[in-house]
Structure 1
Amino acid sequence: MGTANQIEQELMSYISDHKIRNTHSHHLPEQAMVDFDLDKLINNTYLQWQQVTPGTTAESRTAYLEKTRYKSYFVWLQKAIGELYGISEPITAQNWNQISDQIRKAHQNPDFYMDVLKNKCKYQKVIVDTYWNPGSDNGRPELFTPAFRLDLFFLGYKKGLRNHDGVSLEENFGELPDNLQDYVEWVRKWIIQKKSEGCVALKIAMAYERSLHFEKVTREQAERVFRLQESDITQEDIRCFQDYLFWKICEIAAEVSLPLQCHTGMGQVIDTNILQLNNVIKNNPETKFVLLHCGFPWVDDLFSIVDGYPNLYPDLTWLPILSYTASKRVMHQLIEMSQIDKICWGCDTWTVEESYGSLLAFRFSLCSVLREKIEDGYLSVNNAKDIIDKILFDNAGKIYV
């Protein structure tokens, strides 16, 4: 066995040259990024979630950088910008406009978008959740395969509703059925249609809207929303409708053999931990539940059930760019506790720059974990390469068939 540095170099070289099946993203269509600059790029990354913006002056940008420079999102985005645009110095208020010009010029090249994703990132396939246009492949079926996001259907208890992204159920899928039985069949029809159009997974991100505790309610409880005047519908009525629908979607997912990707952890953060889904996972053994983000920050929930359900699949999506410290801990324990052929990774980003940054964070975390396990005598170098093969490529090919 070589030195720690030699092992790390060998592993990083192996990871960096490896083709990847990226299991979760929100990549914008390339035409949406034609006029990107540094400000627009930041506004389409996770940095826009924080309560501070860069502004347009040297003073405001300096203040912004002082607040964000050490945040994980910024660190990995800056590393990606550095590699993609050949910039060796950190982003500053003084070079901000110069970097913006480089980004703008690059995105005006029609080949830049796909070159980064296919050649720099080495993505062979990317599962994309275009929540603004559910089920789209961004017009690039050679790279993108859709996950069909179903959150809009949970708004079917009332006409005219929009979700937190401003997207309308009716504008995307037409007139709503007026009774529960027809509504469930309508949802089933759309799922079957989207599968025929190339969708390889279903996606639920209701943790941004509500608890992940979906109870097994009766049909009578769920259909109350269709009998009541809109002004008489209560939160309990809405909950029962949504709970019932979620269980039905789990059944349909099994019927049509589509994995169900579930956003867990971060969101509205009240009861969005993985154990809220325990009863659903247990009672739908034929449904493949892909637990995106591993329930971060409540990752111990995952470890409590990861070895107990054959239909549970942990996905490291988003986690390395959120916190490489947390992602390393999760990877260490998943290698020890989960079936290695169940684990996948996705970038969970909108732009090519942040996607590459997310990949850099993932490579760094995985390489570090595997090196430590080799040093501890837990794995051999060949074992580590086998794990890399599975997580980066092989597993997704078996889960999303």
Structure 2
Amino acid sequence: MKIFNSHSHLGVDIERGKMGLKYIFDKSYIGWLYELPSESREDIKAYFEKVMTMKAFVQLKAALEKLYGNGLKLDLNTWDVFDERIKKAYEDPNHENHVLRDVCGYDEILLDDWIDIRSSGSNGVECSVALRCDFMFYGYSREGLESCEANNFDFFDHVPDNIYDYEIKMRDYIKESLEMGKCTALKVCMAYFRDLDFEPVDCHMAGVVYEDDESSEYIRMFQDYVMAKICEIAGEFNIPIQIHTGLGQVTDTSPINLMPLIRKYSNVRFSLLHGGFPWADDLLAVLYECPNAWLDICWMPSLSSIIARDTLINVLELIGTDRIMWGCDAATVEESYGALLAGIDILDEVNGYFINKGVFDEAFGDRLKEKILYSNAKDFFNEL
């Protein structure tokens, strides 16, 4: 079965010369919470005891065993064997693409990266690009850019000093990326930096930030206005928007905060990444009320099997089968494969639930997996 991987970070910030077992764990979602201090036996043992119940660990361990184990289980006694096999595998420059294409079966991969459209962006992994727009929210001044996590690309060699020129600059940059084939979708990840309650702001009020670029009130107005312009540009060029929802800076990052925006721009397709985890009930309301909103279950199966399974069942019961996608949301091919294994496990559980209730048979269960893992994304990204 072909798979459309709708959201990934593959190859981003990965130093292939350092690739090994510790590096893979540290670059995974487990590493966000717990970094392995060293590869001493004492540290590895304590690390395994700490993380063994985390779904992200369970799925990554399973992927490592399938890719490098040859029948071995990963534990304290086999750590060095796995480490050596991983380093040997990465001597082949085609190893990553082999895992992604031949093992995972990815027909297309959408990469989320801080990408300068004039660079290759993919770091050796064959991908399409979601053009990340977060830096645009800080383009009211050079200082604003330097204060955020966004890279300062050529787009900001010259920072306009008024909102009118800034709008033109935004549109031209997105248009140029489309013409260069560097933009399959726009990506907004502002949930890591602020809430998702984007209010309507007129052009004049948004422009006041140029008179006082240190005012949190004016910065917020500017950012609200930028979000609206991104939606307008997406509508103009018929490109979808992916929005990070749920865990991030946490406060007011539930999908429900996006309801007014999604309703207003009904001509734009919105992908709600991560399903608003853990606010899945809010997600259901948005999907029901907004036919231009889609669910991407990326990350969810890697965080909680139960929440991912129940959310998927509820969404299928509420809105049907057409507006659901999956992405790995991983930076290494090992974690990507693990995320795929976890996603397929969840889909199998969901199929079992509906088959046992007599809602559909196994043949349609296979069709449902194909829709969620491939054809729904092709439809969303206008690639049918």
Is TM-score (shorter-chain normalized) higher than 0.5?
yes
1:320 aligns with 2:304: no
2:230 to 223, 228, 249: 249
Alpha carbons of structure 1 residues 343 and 144: separation in structure 2 relative to 1, 3 Å = same
2:163 to 158, 166, 180: 180
1:308 to 283, 289, 295: 289
Give the residue type in structure 2 aligned to 1:189: D
Segments of structure 1 that go 5 or more residues without pairing to the other structure are 1-17
Partner of 1:213: 197
1:100 aligns with 2:83: yes
Report the number of matched residues: 380
The CA deviation at 1:164 is 8.6
The CA deviation at 1:56 is 3.0
Alpha carbons of structure 1 residues 214 and 336: separation in structure 2 relative to 1, 3 Å = same
The CA deviation at 1:328 is 0.5
Give the residue type in structure 1 aligned to 2:157: G
Give the residue type in structure 1 aligned to 2:111: V
Partner of 2:19: 36
Q: Deviations over 1:71-115 (max 9, x none)?
A: 111110000000001254443333322221111111111221111
The CA deviation at 1:53 is 2.7
Partner of 2:185: 201
Q: Residues of 1 paired with 2:100 and 2:306: CA distance?
A: 26
SS at match of 2:327: coil
The CA deviation at 1:170 is 4.5
The CA deviation at 1:161 is 4.3
Q: Residues of 2 paired with 1:164 and 1:22: CA distance?
A: 32
SS at match of 1:148: strand
Give the residue type in structure 1 aligned to 2:113: T
SS at match of 2:61: helix
Q: Deviations over 1:238-282 (max 9, x none)?
A: 111100110111111111111000000010100000010010011
Q: Which deviates more, 103-112 or 144-153?
A: 103-112
Partner of 2:270: 289
SS at match of 1:378: coil
Give the residue type in structure 2 aligned to 1:381: E
Partner of 1:110: 93
Q: Which deviates more, 171-180 or 217-226?
A: 171-180
1:396 aligns with 2:380: no
Task: Tell me, yes or no, if the aligned pair for 2:19 and 2:86 is still in contact at 8 Å.
Answer: yes
Partner of 1:126: 109
Q: Deviations over 1:287-328 (max 9, x none)?
A: 111101111100101111212222111111111111121110
SS at match of 1:304: helix
Task: Tell me, yes or no, if the aligned pair for 1:160 and 1:170 is still in contact at 8 Å.
Answer: no
Q: Which deviates more, 130-139 or 181-190?
A: 130-139
Task: Tell me, yes or no, if the aligned pair for 2:139 and 2:145 is still in contact at 8 Å.
Answer: no
The CA deviation at 1:37 is 0.5
SS at match of 1:169: coil
Q: Which deviates more, 261-270 or 176-185?
A: 176-185
Aligned sequence identity (%): 35
The CA deviation at 1:359 is 0.1
Q: Which deviates more, 39-48 or 23-32?
A: 23-32
Task: Tell me, yes or no, if the aligned pair for 1:73 and 1:321 is still in contact at 8 Å.
Answer: yes
Alpha carbons of structure 1 residues 290 and 234: separation in structure 2 relative to 1, 3 Å = same
Q: Which deviates more, 28-37 or 339-348?
A: 28-37
The CA deviation at 1:362 is 0.3
Question: TM-score, normalising length from structure 2?
Answer: 0.94
Q: Deviations over 1:380-400 (max 9, x none)?
A: 222212212211111111111
Task: Tell me, yes or no, if the aligned pair for 1:27 and 1:351 is still in contact at 8 Å.
Answer: yes
The CA deviation at 1:30 is 10
Q: Residues of 2 paired with 1:217 and 1:314: CA distance?
A: 27
The CA deviation at 1:136 is 4.8
Task: Tell me, yes or no, if the aligned pair for 1:149 and 1:204 is still in contact at 8 Å.
Answer: yes
The CA deviation at 1:171 is 5.4
Question: TM-score, normalising length from structure 1?
Answer: 0.90
2:280 to 299, 307, 310: 299
